[in-house]
C-alpha cells in the first residue's frame, strides 16, 4: 500500500492537538515552524505538504518533483500559488467552515467585554472597594444593551450570516454592506457603506482582505460613524487602517474598537495602536478568534479527510 511522505511545516500555529490520524495515512514529519531558508530541504521528496501560513510558491513546487497535494490548514489559500499548482497538476485543498462558530463566539465575546465593562467591575470587587461600599451595587462604568441597537456587518458570507443570526437573537437591528456586491438578497437590509457607517452602533467586519477592502475603514470613514460606535474586526488585518484608528480613538470619533487581526502579525512594537491615550477603549487579541479547541479539532479532521479522499482517488488512477 502506498504510504506518502507527509510534512507539516508549521505545527505550532495549530496549537496542542493530536496529529495521530495523519500517521495512519503516511510517513509524517512535523516541524513546529519553518523559515524560508529551511523550507526546500524539508519538503524535498514529500508527496504531501501541510501548511497553515508557510508560503508555497513556484520555486517551492519546482523543488519537489514528488509533490502531489498541498493541504492548507485554513480556509484562505492566499499563501499558495494556485495557478502554478494547477499547471503542475498539484492538488490544493483547504478546509472550509471549520472556524465559523469560534469566530462568531469571539466576536461577541469582544463586543460584550467592551460594552459591559466586566473587567472594570471584576477589579472593583477584588480590590476591596465593593466590600467597603455602603450600597449593594456599583455603576462606575455605564453599559448598554445590545437589544434595539443597529448592528452593521461588513461582509455577509458564512461567518457574517452567523453573526447576523446571533445579533438578531439579542434583538438588534441588523444591516450589512456587501464588499463583493454579490450578497444582496439575504433577508437582511443591505446598505451602501456610507449609510451603514452612519447608522450603526456596532460595526462588525467579516470580509476578506483584497484590493477592494484594503484600508476600507480609514479616518474619513471614522468621521462619519457615531461617536458611541463600537468597531469589531475579526476579518483580516489591513481592512482597518491602524494609524487612522488610533487617531479616531484619541479624538473620540468612535467609542471603542476590538481587533483580533492586525496588518502585521505579530505586530511591531511601534504600532500606533499601542500608544493611544485611553487604552481601555481598545481591545486586541492575538488572532485567536478561529482557534477554539473544537475548531482546531474540526480543522484536523478536515485535513485528514482531505488527504484520505485524495489517496483513494490516487489509488484508483
Catalytically active residues are: 236, 265, 287
Closest residue by Cα to residue 205 from 153, 246, 243: 153
Alpha-carbon distances, residue 3 vs 67, 141, 154, 286 (angstroms): 13, 61, 45, 37
DSSP three-state, residue 123? helix
Handedness of CA 71, 73, 75, 81 (dihedral sign): negative
146 within 8 A of 171, measured Cβ to Cβ: yes
- Strand ordering across the sheet containing 230-233: 189-190, 173-177, 150-154, 202-205, 230-233, 256-259, 282-284
Tell me if the bond preceding 149 is cis, omega within 30° of 0.
no
Q: 5 CB contacts (<8 Å, ≥6 apart)?
A: 26, 27, 29, 45, 46, 47, 48, 66
CB atoms within 10 A of CB 229: 24
Q: 246 CB contacts (<8 Å, ≥6 apart)?
A: 272, 273, 275, 276
Contacts by 82-88, CB closer than 8 A, 24 or more apart: 84/57, 84/58, 85/56, 85/61, 88/61
Q: What is the CA radius of gyration of the chain?
A: 23
Amino acid at each position: 500500500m502506498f504510504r506518502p511522505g507527509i510534512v507539516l511545516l508549521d505545527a505550532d500555529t495549530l496549537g496542542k492537538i493530536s496529529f495521530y490520524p495523519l500517521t495512519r495515512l503516511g510517513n509524517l514529519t512535523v516541524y513546529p515552524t519553518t523559515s524560508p531558508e529551511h523550507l526546500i530541504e524539508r519538503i524535498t521528496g514529500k508527496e504531501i505538504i501541510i501548511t497553515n501560513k508557510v508560503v508555497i510558491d513556484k520555486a517551492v513546487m519546482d523543488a519537489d518533483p514528488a509533490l502531489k497535494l498541498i493541504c492548507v490548514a485554513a480556509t484562505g489559500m492566499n499563501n499558495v500559488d494556485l495557478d502554478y499548482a494547477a499547471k503542475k497538476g498539484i492538488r490544493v485543498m483547504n478546509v472550509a467552515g471549520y472556524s465559523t462558530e469560534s469566530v462568531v463566539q469571539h466576536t461577541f465575546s469582544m463586543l460584550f467585554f467592551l460594552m459591559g465593562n466586566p473587567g472594570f467591575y471584576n477589579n472593583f470587587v477584588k480590590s476591596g472597594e465593593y466590600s467597603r461600599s455602603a450600597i449593594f451595587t456599583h455603576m462606575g462604568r455605564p453599559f448598554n444593551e445590545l437589544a434595539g441597537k443597529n448592528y452593521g456587518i461588513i461582509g455577509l458570507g458564512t461567518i457574517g450570516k452567523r453573526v447576523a443570526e446571533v445579533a438578531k437573537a439579542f434583538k438588534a437591528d441588523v444591516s450589512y454592506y456587501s464588499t463583493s456586491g454579490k450578497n444582496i438578497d439575504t433577508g437582511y437590509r443591505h446598505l451602501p457603506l456610507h449609510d451603514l457607517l452612519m447608522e450603526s452602533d456596532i460595526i462588525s467586519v467579516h470580509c476578506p482582505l483584497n484590493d477592494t477592502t484594503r484600508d476600507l475603514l480609514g479616518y474619513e470613514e471614522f468621521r462619519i460613524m457615531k461617536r458611541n460606535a463600537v468597531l469589531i474586526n475579526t476579518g483580516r488585518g489591513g481592512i482597518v487602517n491602524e494609524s487612522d484608528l488610533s487617531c479616531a480613538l484619541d479624538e473620540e470619533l468612535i467609542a471603542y474598537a476590538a481587533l483580533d487581526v492586525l496588518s502585521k502579525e505579530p505586530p511591531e512594537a511601534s504600532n500606533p495602536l499601542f500608544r493611544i491615550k485611553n487604552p481601555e477603549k481598545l481591545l486586541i487579541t492575538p488572532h485567536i478568534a478561529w482557534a477554539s479547541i473544537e475548531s482546531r479539532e474540526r480543522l484536523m479532521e478536515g485535513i485528514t479527510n482531505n488527504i484520505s479522499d485524495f489517496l483513494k482517488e490516487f489509488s484508483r488512477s
